[in-house]
A and B are shown apart, each in its own frame.
Chain A
Amino acid sequence: MSSMEALLKDESTRNVRRLLKVLILITIAGAAVSSRLFSVIRFESIIHEFDPWFNFRASKYLVKNGFYNFWDWFDDRTWHPLGRVTGGTLYPGLMVTSGAIYHILRMLSMPVDIRNICVLLAPAFSGLTALATYLFTKEMKDESAGLLAAAFIGIAPGYISRSVAGSYDNEAIAIFLLMFTFYLWIKALKDGSAFWGALCALFYFYMVAAWGGYVFITNMIPLHAFVLVLMGRYSPRLYVAYTSWFALGTLGSMQVPFVGFLPIRSSEHMAALGVFGLLQLVGFVEFVRYQVPSRQFKTLLKALIFIVFALSSAILVLLTVSGVIAPWSGRFYSLWDTGYAKIHIPIIASVSEHQPTAWPAFFFDLEMLIWLFPAGIYMCFSTLQDQHVFVIIYGIMASYFAGVMVRLMLTLTPVVCVSAAIALSNILDVYLSIKTPTTPTVGASSADDRKEKKPRVNILSAGKDSIVGIYSKASNIAVIAAFSIYLFVFVLHCTWVTSNAYSSPSVVLASRLPDGSQHIIDDYREAYYWLRKNTPDDAKIMSWWDYGYQIGGMADRTTLVDNNTWNNTHIATVGKAMSSREEVAYPILRQHDVDYVLVIFGGLLGYSGDDINKFLWMIRIAEGVWPDEVKERDFFTPRGEYRVDDAATDTMKNSLMYKMSYYNYQSLFPAGQAQDRVRNAKLPAVGPTLSILDEAFTSENWIVRIYKVKDLDNLGRDHVSAAAFGAGKKKSKKTKAGKGAQRKLRVV
C-alpha cells in the first residue's frame, strides 16, 4: 500500500496515469462491444434490417469479384426492367472497409466468413467511436472529461440502436468517422496546422465515401468558421485549418462517383464554398490592414467585406434560382419545411424513421445525459474558446434535427455525450478535491481557479459557513454519492434498453410461450428460402419496396423495386398493381415479366407491420403518378374509415392487395368467424377469389404469402371468365345443381 502511494507520488505517476487511461479505454471498448452482442447471443449471427441486406450483398460481391468489378458493377437483379448502376449509386466506404478487414484477416491466416465480418463491424467500430469521442472531448476540456465522454458514448442507447451486431448499415462506421473528423478539425483549428487540416480532409473523404450524412459535416465546419468570423475571432489559424480542409476535402469528396459534381452544383454544399470565399476576403483584408495602420482604411475594408459578402450571396441566390446550382434535395429540404415531404413526396414521409421525435424518446435514448446536456452547453459558454463554439453550434443544430426526425437522434448522441461529460467532469472536479484544501488558507492559495467555481456550485449550502468553498466532507460525499448512483442507474438503464428494445432482429420474430420459453417465428426466411430453392433462377418477384433488399439478399431473386427508392414512378407502378383490380393489375404484371408476387400478411399473428397497414402508402404513391386511376378516397368507407371487414368499400375488396392478403384466410376459421388480429376486424364470410394468380406458398404463420402469376389463358379468354368456367365445371361434376351456381358466378 505504501509502495503504491510512493509510486503515485513519484515522477512515474504520469506513466501510471497513462496505464490507467489505456486500461479504462480498453474497458470502455470492451463494454461497447459486448453490450451490442445481445442479438447475436440470443438468436444468431445474422444481418438484421432491410438496408443492411443490400450492403451485405454488395460486400459479398466485392469480396468475390474484386474492387474494380465492384466499382463498375451493373446489377441486373434489381429494378427488373431497368437495372441499377450500383457502383455509381452507393456509398462504397462500408463495403470497402469490411472487404479490407476480410483480406487483412485472410492475410493473417484467420479466414473469417464475410458475413461474420459484416455482422460484427458495427460493434468493432463502436469501440473506435469511444476512442474518437475521448480525443474530441480531450480537446474540449481535459482527459478526465474525455474518459467520461468515451464511457457515455460506449453504452448510450441512442447510438447502440443503430450499431448493434448485425446492423450492417452505413451509420455503423459513419459515427466514428464523424467524431474523428470533428476531432481532427478542432485539432487543426487549435494548432493552425495544415497537416491536421489535411488529415481532417482525408477522414472527411472517408466519411463522404461512407454515409450520405456527410452533408452534416459539410455544413457544420463552415458554420463554425462563419460564427468565429462573426464573433471577431478570425485568426490565421482559422484560415490555415479551414482552407486546407476545404481545398482537399472538396476535391476528395468529388472522387466518390455517387457524389460527383454535387459539391459544386448543389445547395447543400454552397455554405462551405461561401465561407471559403469569405475567409479569403477576410484573410486578404487582415493582411492589408497589417500593412496600412490607417483607421479609416480599416472601416472602409470592413465595408468592403460586407459588400462583397452580400454580393456573393446574392449571386448564389441568383444561380440557385436560375437553376445552375441545384436546389435543396427533398430529403434535406424536408428538414426545414417539415410539412413538405408529406404533401409532395409521400415516399419520404412513408418511412417511419422520418417522423418527428416525441420527448420520451430523448429520455429513453439518453437517460441522464439529456439533462446534463444543457448544463454542459452552459459550461461551454462560460469558458468560451474557439473549440467550445463548435460544441455549442453542434449541440444546437443536432438537437433541432433530432427533434424533426427520429433517425437523426444518432447525430445528436455524440454531442450529448460530450457535453454531458463536460458538465459532469466539472462537477467531479469541484467535489472530488477532498484532499488538498483541508484548511481554507492553503486551499485559497493552491486552487485559485477552483475557487471561482465553488460559490456557484454550492450556492445553497455556502451561506451557513463562513469559509467559502466546499471543504466539508459531508457535502462532498453527498454529491459524489448522488452522482455515482446516477451513473450506476445510467448503466442499468442503457443495458436494459439495449437488451429489450434494440436487440431484436427484424428477420426473426421472437415471442414467449406461457412457460417463459422462447418461440421463434421464422416465416420470412422460410418463404425466402422457398423462393430460393423452388423457383427458377431468373424468376422476377414483385413485392412492396420494403422487402426488395431482403429478397435480393436471402432469396437471391430478381426484384422490381427495392429500398433504394431512386425511381419513384417504378415504385408507383408496383403500388398501382397492388391497389387496382385484377384486370388492371394483370397487364402490369405481364409487362414487367413478373413471375411471383409476394405479400406480407400479419392478420393471423397480430404482426402489425404488414402490407395491409402499408397499403395506404402504396395508394398514395400510386396516386401521385396516376391520380385518375388510383384514388385514395375510394378505399375509405363513406364515413372515412379504413376498414377490411364487411363494411370495406368495393375498391378495397377488389384490390389485388386485399385479395392476396385474405385469400383462403377464412378456411382457417369456423364459417363466418374469420378474424384479423391486427385490424381487430371480423372478415366477410365469403373470402375473395383470385383469378390471375395461383397461391404458390404460404408460410407457417401466414406472414409471407407468395402467388404465382398465371400464364395467358390457352383459349384466349380473360382470366376472370376462365376461372369462373373452371369453378363452374368442377361444381357441375359433383352435383346436378351446378348450373345455377355457374350462372351466379357469371353474373358476378
Chain B
Amino acid sequence: MPSKKNLSTPSTSTSTTTTTSSSASATAAATATPTNPFTILGGIFKNYSRSTPQRTKLIDAFLGFLVITGVLQFAYCVVAGNYPFNAFLAGFSATVGQFVLTASLRIQSNPANKSEFASVSPERAFADFVFCSIILHLFCTNFIN
C-alpha cells in the first residue's frame, strides 16, 4: 500500500508538470510556427525531454533499440535473402511483438492515461508485460526451430 502511494504521488506530480510544460511549449510553438518547421521539431524534442519521466524515457530507449534491431534484421533479409524464412519471421516478429508489448506498457503506465485504464495499475501493467513477453519468447524460440 505505501509503495503504491509512493508511486502514485510522483506520477501525479509529473502529470501536473506535463500539463504546465505542454501549455508553456504550446505558447512557444505558437510563436514559432510561422518561422520554420525545425523549431517545431526542436520544441517537440525539448518538450519531450523536459516532461517525460525517467522510467518512460528508459522504455523509449528500449523501443528505439527494438526499432533499430528490426530494421537491421529486415535489411539483412532484403540483402541476403530469406532462405530460412521461419528464422527470419521468428526474429523479426520477436522484435515487432516486443516493440508492441513495450509500447503497451508505456501507454498503460502513462499517468495521463489513468482514466482509460481504471483496472490496470502500473504494477499490473508490468506483470502483464512480463506474462506476454514470456509467451512471445516461447512462441519465437519454438518457431525458430
Q: Which residues of A contact B (CB under 8 A)?
A: 191-195, 197-198, 201-202, 235-237, 239-240, 243-244, 246-248, 250-252, 254-255, 261, 264, 280, 283, 288, 290-294, 296-297
**Beta-carbon contact of B131 and A248 below 8 Å:** no
**Beta-carbon contact of B143 and A194 below 8 Å:** no
- A192-B108, A198-B128, A248-B136 in contact; A235/B116 too (CB < 8 A)? yes
Contact of A198 among B48, B119, B131 (CB under 8 A): B131
Residues of B near A235 (CB, < 8 A) are 116
Interface SS of chain B: helix
Residues of B near A290 (CB, < 8 A) are 112
Contact of B125 among A194, A201, A251, A297 (CB under 8 A): A194
**Beta-carbon contact of B129 and A194 below 8 Å:** yes
**Beta-carbon contact of A195 and B89 below 8 Å:** no
- A248-B139, A251-B136, A292-B29 in contact; A236/B129 too (CB < 8 A)? no
Residues of A near B139 (CB, < 8 A) are 248, 251-252, 255
**Beta-carbon contact of A240 and B108 below 8 Å:** yes
Residues of A near B48 (CB, < 8 A) are 291
Contact of B100 among A244, A252, A291, A292 (CB under 8 A): A244
B26 within 8 A of A: yes
**Beta-carbon contact of B128 and A254 below 8 Å:** no
**Beta-carbon contact of A195 and B131 below 8 Å:** yes
B135 within 8 A of A: yes
Interface pairs (28), CB distance under 8 Å: A193-B124, A194-B101, A194-B104, A194-B128, A194-B129, A198-B132, A235-B116, A236-B113, A236-B117, A239-B104, A240-B108, A243-B103, A244-B104, A244-B132, A247-B93, A248-B97, A251-B136, A251-B139, A252-B139, A254-B89, A255-B143, A261-B89, A264-B89, A291-B48, A292-B26, A293-B26, A294-B26, A294-B29
Closest 8 CB pairs of A and B: A247-B97, A194-B128, A243-B100, A195-B128, A240-B104, A251-B139, A236-B107, A198-B132
Residues of B near A248 (CB, < 8 A) are 97, 132, 135-136, 139
B47 within 8 A of A: yes
Report the nearest B residue to A197, measured CB to CB.
B132
**Beta-carbon contact of B127 and A240 below 8 Å:** no
Residues of A near B79 (CB, < 8 A) are none
Q: How far is the CA of A620 from the CA of B132 in the complex (A)?
A: 51
Max count, chain A CB within 10 A of own CB: residue among B40, B119, B132: B132
B140 within 8 A of A: yes
Interface contacts (Cβ under 8 Å), in number, total 108
Q: How far is the CA of A197 from the CA of B44 in the complex (A)?
A: 32
B87 within 8 A of A: no
Residues of B near A237 (CB, < 8 A) are 116-117
**Beta-carbon contact of B100 and A247 below 8 Å:** yes
**Beta-carbon contact of A195 and B44 below 8 Å:** no
Which B29-69 residues sit within 8 Å CB-CB of chain A? 29-30, 33, 40, 43-44, 47-48
Report the nearest A residue to B118, measured CB to CB.
A191
Residues of A near B135 (CB, < 8 A) are 198, 201-202, 248
Report the nearest B residue to A296, measured CB to CB.
B33
- A193-B128, A294-B29, A294-B30 in contact; A251/B116 too (CB < 8 A)? no
B120 within 8 A of A: yes
Q: How far is the CA of A331 from the CA of B130 in the complex (A)?
A: 39
Q: What is the CB-to-nearest-CB distance from B131 to chain A, in angstroms, rounded to a whole number?
A: 6
Q: How far is the CA of A290 from the CA of B104 in the complex (A)?
A: 16
B14 within 8 A of A: no
Q: How far is the CA of A692 from the CA of B101 in the complex (A)?
A: 68
Residues of B near A247 (CB, < 8 A) are 93, 96-97, 100-101, 136
**Beta-carbon contact of A191 and B104 below 8 Å:** no
Max count, chain A CB within 10 A of own CB: residue among B26, B100, B101, B140: B100
B11 within 8 A of A: no
Q: What is the CB-to-nearest-CB distance from A496 to chain B, in angstroms, rounded to a whole number?
A: 45
Residues of A near B117 (CB, < 8 A) are 191-193, 236-237
Residues of B near A288 (CB, < 8 A) are 44
Q: How far is the CA of A634 from the CA of B126 in the complex (A)?
A: 72
- A194-B101, A243-B103, A283-B103 in contact; A291/B120 too (CB < 8 A)? no
Max count, chain B CB within 10 A of own CB: residue among A195, A255, A280: A195
**Beta-carbon contact of A243 and B104 below 8 Å:** yes
Report the nearest B residue to A194, measured CB to CB.
B128
Q: How far is the CA of A357 from the CA of B117 in the complex (A)?
A: 44
**Beta-carbon contact of B116 and A192 below 8 Å:** yes
Max count, chain A CB within 10 A of own CB: residue among B33, B136, B139: B139
Report the nearest B residue to A294, measured CB to CB.
B29
**Beta-carbon contact of B44 and A292 below 8 Å:** yes
Q: How far is the CA of A232 from the CA of B104 in the complex (A)?
A: 20
B76 within 8 A of A: no
Q: What is the CB-to-nearest-CB distance from B129 to chain A, in angstroms, rounded to a whole number?
A: 6
Residues of A near B128 (CB, < 8 A) are 193-195, 198
Encoded as 1 (CB less than 8 Å from any A CB) or 0, chain B from 59 to 100 comes to: 000000000000000000000000001100110010011001
